Amino acid sequence: MAIASAVCNSFKQQILVGTHDFTATSGDDFKLALYTSSASLGAGTTAYSSSNEISNTSGSAYSAGGKTIVSVTPALDGTVAVCDFADISFTSASFTANGCLIYNDTQADKAVCTVAFGGDKTVSSGTFTIQFPAAGASTAIVRIA
């Protein structure tokens, strides 16, 4: 099992039928769930699942299902449509994560994309922060060329 960074195939089709709304102020609610190295996530992922999701080793920084992320209204960067998210932090955290799933909580937990962290990332009684790259044509987490 492994986590691979990918835009989910089901998401690609759902975009064409208008399932997802990334508009910042009135769009759908998106969440980010963290997973262990035992998870199998990638292009074939279709929805959020709690299987192999992380758990706190102490404290309550992380809850099942992850945390809501704030979308920045999509824009064009040249000829590429891009969407960015505000950075997200889990404070007073103690856990190990290997990757994450971004999913649409409003639309039956449909998967958007998976992100591999390149190995286990551990935090012990600290802050675990995910910094999203700038919403550029070659750097945005969600981009359509």
pLDDT at 1: 67
Structure tokens at 55: 């758990």
Coil, strand, or helix at residue 28? coil
Q: Residues in the chain with pLDDT < 50?
A: none
Q: Which of 106, 124, 117, 101 is nearest to 51 (CA)?
A: 101
Burial tier of 10 (Cβ tally within 10 Å: 0-12, 13-18, 19+): middle
pTM score: 0.94
Backbone φ and ψ for 16, nearest 5 degrees, come out as -70, -15
User: In the numeric block, which tokens belong to residue 132?
Assistant: 């999203």
- Would you state the pLDDT for residue 46? 98
Q: Tokens for 104?
A: 């649409």
